[in-house]
Amino acid sequence: MMIDSKLANSFIERYSSFLIFTYAKYVESSIPDDYNILKIFSTARDVYNEDRSIFDEFLRAEGETIPLIDDAIQSLKFSQWAYLKDTTKYSLLINTEDECAYAVQGLTDPIKEICGGPGLYLKTGIVQLGDSFVCDGLIEGPIVFFGKNYKYDLNELYKEIKQQKRFYKKPSQLK
């Protein structure tokens, strides 16, 4: 339920650099002494989600591209997700707004270890990294647990999503 560690570390390094660049340029030019890196990254991700041209600025400033990683960052889908269940290979996340579902892996830890397991709504980003959908690792609160009625409704929605072929296990299915 996690991707290759070398690929994960490459993504984390590039994504972190991009988020720090974004924060420094669009939020505050210097990071405060009492900083919370997760808050800084989440704030920067929110800024990027509103203006996707920021990544082009980052690439110009960097002077080099890393196609696989850069494509992943540009594919970021930031949303509220219903975390319905885990399988041995992925976590099932449903975007109830778009009525689609994704088989999502963690970067360095399974999603269930980050949030405690399925049965909840969470706000996070998903990227297309290589042949997988991957959680960007930044989970914003509040995490809201859903009860049995919501779980039933989400399972019914998942059945509809599968019938409509809007359940994606691999990024290649989106093309």
Instruction: Check residue 34 and give its pLDDT.
Output: 81
Domains (ranges, CATH) in the chain?
5-73 (no CATH), 77-174 (2.40.50.140)
Instruction: Check residue 25 and give its pLDDT.
Output: 95
Instruction: Return d(Cα 92, Cα 166) in angstroms, integer.
Output: 13
Q: How do residues 48-99 score in pLDDT, each as one tens digit?
A: 999 999 999 999 999 999 999 999 999 999 999 999 999 999 999 999 999 9
Q: Of 52, 86, 50, 75, which Cα lies nearest the Cα of 128?
A: 75
Instruction: Check residue 44 and give its pLDDT.
Output: 97
Q: How do residues 147-172 score in pLDDT, each as one tens digit?
A: 999 999 999 999 999 999 999 999 99
Q: How many helices (H) and strands (E) does the chain have?
A: 6, 7
Instruction: Check residue 141 and give its pLDDT.
Output: 80
Q: How do residues 12-50 score in pLDDT, each as one tens digit?
A: 999 999 999 999 999 988 777 788 999 999 999 999 999
